[in-house]
Amino acid sequence: MNQKVVIIGSGIGGLMCGAILAKAGYSVTILEMNKQIGGTLQTYVRERHIFDSGVHYVGGLDKGQTLYKIFDYLGIMQDLKIVKMDVAAFDKICFHSDNMEYSFGQGYDLFKKNLIDSFPSEEKAIVEYCNTIQKICASVPLYNLKLTDNFKISSYYELDTKHFIASLTSNIRLQNVLAGNNPLYAGVGDKTPLYVHALVINSYIESAWRFVNGGSQIARSLCKIIRSHGGAIKTRTKVNKIHVEQELVHHLESDDGNKFFGDYFISTIHPSQTLKMIDSNIIKLSYRKRINSLENSTSSFMININLIPNTFKYSNSNYYCYLTDDVWNGMEHDDHSWPKFYAVFHSEFAKRNEFAEGITIMAYMKYEEVSRWSHTHNTATHPGDRGDDYALFKKIKAEKLIDCVEQKFPGFRKCIKSYTTSTPLTFRDYMGTTDGSIYGIKKDYKDAIKSFISPRTKINNLFLSGQNINLHGILGVSISSLVSCSSLINLTDLLNKINNEAS
């Protein structure tokens, strides 16, 4: 097969599509605007410690599980250096109003047991919650690497997460614990569909893993597969124009004037950014308006901390900590009330002892909070200075966030050697979004069709993929990549290979 596919973006979506199609015999070229491939899988080093920029843990990688099968089929599973998180507590949900830690265990039996131990009078609600999550996941064929001719939109698509959980129990604390790791999908009360909550949390309950020395190893492994099949990945190449002739994409043009020709094209960047590059009336104005009107999920503020050696104990659990008792209002802050929530992720490294070397702290942050510097740009490829007032802003926010963590972990501040920060501007510049959104387009249970974006476009040789198509996250985007590639290869055959060739 000599047909050529050109892909915009080397995040997990672009790399997955590239690896699948390269393995199927297509000639693949991936164009990446950054110096480093990987999108949210990118890592960086400070004082010899590797920090993840976005992905801090992953689910569904136990043998026989969905992501394991996909990675194994592509030939990268054996290369990954991963460590299973605490089986009894991969996530801990905490509230500053009490001293409790509510632990999420791996496997539904342990998940239920832990919660029933904490809420002994709520066994019925907890069991019903788990049963519903599993029913939802079983009702989505591709989530289980299956196809069916009888798939129907489930009633679960018309439910929102917050009210579903509230329907199970009147115990307010349990309601908030069950939704306690909703920052995994930037959950919004009275908006986030139940299916999003279910598909995300189920993968971690099945199994939860940390990357040893960062998640960029996934990107490197996929890159190796693509190149081994004759593909190419070009970094520092930003596409700014999609040229359409006779109702087909003819070529892409980068900002340095280079042209890239192909038979098929896949864009994995935000759909609104893709449409900006297309000057053709094939894309109807109504479609453009719908895509451009979609609301994006929020962004975040992160601190990556180098710790003084042998001072702060390593934890094989993540912490989701709330300064209020409502896990759904973490984004509803002003300068005074920020932060209402923070998460703590420990970095896994090869020669770890009982102490942590690096920690990431994440809190929500709106793009509007940094919009006064929106005219600036700063990446490794195109460095820029945002000014002293921006540096002061980050310093004030970081110190305030560290004060909050100190309340949960007394003595934490004394363990800090140094730190770096990232804001919505960082995510905007490196991920190519307009507002630094961390999870792409926001889903709304009241209007599921509006936020649905087909991987096919009105231009017959242009397809879409990435976190804005179906579901975000490594597992979600991997499944979306299968759908996007199904326009070029037979999906039934691909799924049979994935299911049958997995070791």
- Write out pLDDT tens, residues 79-89: 999 999 999 99
Q: List where CATH 3.50.50.60 sits in the chain.
A: 4-40+213-294+441-501
Tens of pLDDT, residue by residue over 382-394, are: 899 999 999 999 9
Tens of pLDDT, residue by residue over 10-56, are: 999 999 999 999 999 999 999 999 999 999 889 988 888 899 888 89
- Going by their DSSP bridges, the two strands 462-464 and 264-267 should be labelled as parallel
pLDDT surpasses 70 at 1: no
Q: What is the pTM of this model?
A: 0.94
Strand, coil or helix: 278 = strand
Stretch 101-110: mean pLDDT, rounded? 98
Tell me the sheet residues that pair with 463. 266, 456
pLDDT surpasses 90 at 432: no
Question: In percent, how much of the chain has pLDDT > 70?
Answer: 98
Strand, coil or helix: 355 = strand
* Residue 152 pLDDT level (bands cut at 50, 70, 90): low
Superfamily of domain 4-40+213-294+441-501: FAD/NAD(P)-binding domain (3.50.50.60)
pLDDT surpasses 80 at 151: no
- HEC profile of 462-492: EEECCCCCCCCHHHHHHHHHHHHHCCCCCHH
**CA–CA distance, 355 with 343 (Å, rounded to integer):** 19
Stretch 255-273: mean pLDDT, rounded? 96
**CA–CA distance, 467 with 481 (Å, rounded to integer):** 9
**Whole-number pLDDT of residue 153:** 54
Stretch 461-486: mean pLDDT, rounded? 93
Q: How many CB atoms lie within 10 A of CB 228?
A: 12
* Residue 201 pLDDT level (bands cut at 50, 70, 90): very high
Give the DSSP H or E segment for 346: strand 341-346
Paired tokens of 18: 């590239």
Stretch 99-116: mean pLDDT, rounded? 97
End-to-end Cα, the chain, rounded Å: 28
**Whole-number pLDDT of residue 158:** 83
**Whole-number pLDDT of residue 141:** 92
Sign of CA dihedral 339, 99, 202, 165: negative
Tens of pLDDT, residue by residue over 344-371, are: 999 988 777 899 999 999 999 999 999 9
Tens of pLDDT, residue by residue over 476-493, are: 999 999 999 999 999 999
**Whole-number pLDDT of residue 150:** 53
In degrees, rounded to 5, the angle at the alpha carbon of residue 71 between the alpha carbons of residues 68 and 72 is 80
Stretch 210-227: mean pLDDT, rounded? 95
Q: Please say whether the beta carbons of 177 and 169 come within 8 A.
A: no
Q: How many CB atoms lie within 10 A of CB 467?
A: 27
Angle at which helices 473-485 and 491-501 pack, to 10 degrees?
130
Q: How many CB atoms lie within 10 A of CB 491?
A: 14
Strand, coil or helix: 426 = helix
What Å distances lie between residue 338 and 72, 97, 397, CA to CA? 42, 16, 9
Strand, coil or helix: 209 = strand
pLDDT surpasses 60 at 330: yes
Q: Nearest CA to 31 among 5, 55, 54, 53? A: 5
Half-sphere exposure of 24 (CA within 13 A, CB side): 24
Q: Position of tokens 């909703």?
A: 182
Strand, coil or helix: 360 = strand
**Whole-number pLDDT of residue 47:** 87
Mean residue pLDDT across the chain: 94
* Residue 336 pLDDT level (bands cut at 50, 70, 90): very high
Residues in the chain: 503
E strands present in 69-138: 82-84, 91-95, 101-104
**Whole-number pLDDT of residue 230:** 96
**Whole-number pLDDT of residue 149:** 58
Stretch 469-478: mean pLDDT, rounded? 90
**Whole-number pLDDT of residue 154:** 64
- Please, is 281 exposed, middle or buried when counting C-beta atoms within 10 Å of its C-beta (0-12, 13-18, 19+)? exposed
Sign of CA dihedral 108, 112, 115, 117: negative
